[in-house]
Structure 1
Amino acid sequence: MKSSSKLTGREDLVLVGRVTGAHGIRGGLKIHSYAESMALYQTGEGIMLTLPDGSVRTMTIQWVKPHGRGLLMGLESVNDRNQAENLIGSAFFIDKSRLPVLEEDTYYWFELVGLSVYDTTGFLLGRLDGVIPTGSNDVYVVKGKINGRSRELLIPAIGDVVLNIDLESKTMIVDLPEGLLAEP
């Protein structure tokens, strides 16, 4: 995901969604949320937005409700459709401290993206570029150069394959299934 946001370098914030449209005439916003739960979006809570022009604003959530695969949301000072349309494309961030604590050996996707991924021999496979949810288990998208060629590996996020994740050293060790590195 490309972002020129002034907030993306801030370690205390996490990207949780984007404004995808306006809803109604009273300033409602259509939101594509990256969060699994609406619990992050509470009435009265503040969010930081990076607007399409690159400016940053802190706003308070007035209301939120589910809508199809996304959310509808009202923000303070957004009172009509024109104001809502001006926010289309904005990214929203919240303070990481608002995220629920996870169980041991469970990670947020944003913690994993960017990790250097190595096989059991110490060979650098590439960097973790994304996570694909599949229902049964996630799949890690690893991009790198292997044998001089740019490659994208899809690695199942299961215990038999992912042997170690070290957030401090920003590394992941994997035991690849046989044939995963075979030439196409």
Structure 2
Amino acid sequence: MQLQVARIGKPHGIRGEVTVQVLTDAPGDRFVPGTEFVVEPASAGPLTILSARWNKDILLLGFEEIETRNEAETLRGAKLFIETEELEDDDDEGWYEHELVGLEARVGSEVVGKIAALTTLPVQDLLTVKTPEGKEILVPFVEQIVPEVNVAEGYVLITPPPGLFGINEEGGAADGEEAASSQAGDDD
């Protein structure tokens, strides 16, 4: 099984190091010199760690195959995977991006889009839902809003608070303000 452990960010310095978004609970075990990663897109890999170091809260990786900043720039956005037989986390409370991407996003029984990405942030994670119209909606990945994830049946159940989809859409805040002012006018 392939397990995603990081996403490559921007280059750091001139010797080909890159910043990475860590997506594992065990970075000390996963990012050691000599570790080889399967890379998505495949044209960017495989990559083998030459060096790993922390700069404040940011992990910097150097790869044997990358020597310059220009080469490092071509890796931006690439995903790093390891081959593993183990499950990193046995609890039912976590999912990896590769498990969620492509699942239907449902509000009740209505399909409102598909999961396009999972963004891991320090405070809370966000699901990106791509609607049939091509819009991307950011949904906080918290139990109150996403009470059910059913990978086996291929869907995520979302119970959005009023306006969530409108607020995150382009021009949504203005639409919401107009709706609020028209509702206030209706009471007169």
Alignment of 1:1-184 (within 5 A): 12=2, 14=4, 16-18=6-8, 20-21=10-11, 23-24=13-14, 27-35=15-23, 38-39=27-28, 40-49=30-39, 55-68=43-56, 70-76=58-64, 81-82=67-68, 85-90=70-75, 91-97=78-84, 100-120=88-108, 122-133=109-120, 135-145=122-132, 151-180=135-164, 184=175
- Normalised by the size of structure 1, how large is the TM-score? 0.66
More strand by share: 1
Larger CA Rg, structure 1 vs 2: 2
Gaps spanning 5+ residues in structure 1: where?
1-10
How much is the aligned-residue C-alpha RMSD, in angstroms? Answer: 3.4
2:152 partner letter: E
Q: How has the CA–CA distance of structure 1 residues 49 and 141 changed in structure 2, closer, same or farther, with 3 Å as cutoff? A: closer
Residue type at the aligned position of 1:118: R
Alignment coverage as a number of residue pairs: 163
Structure whose residues are more often helix by fraction: 2
TM-score, with length taken from structure 2: 0.65
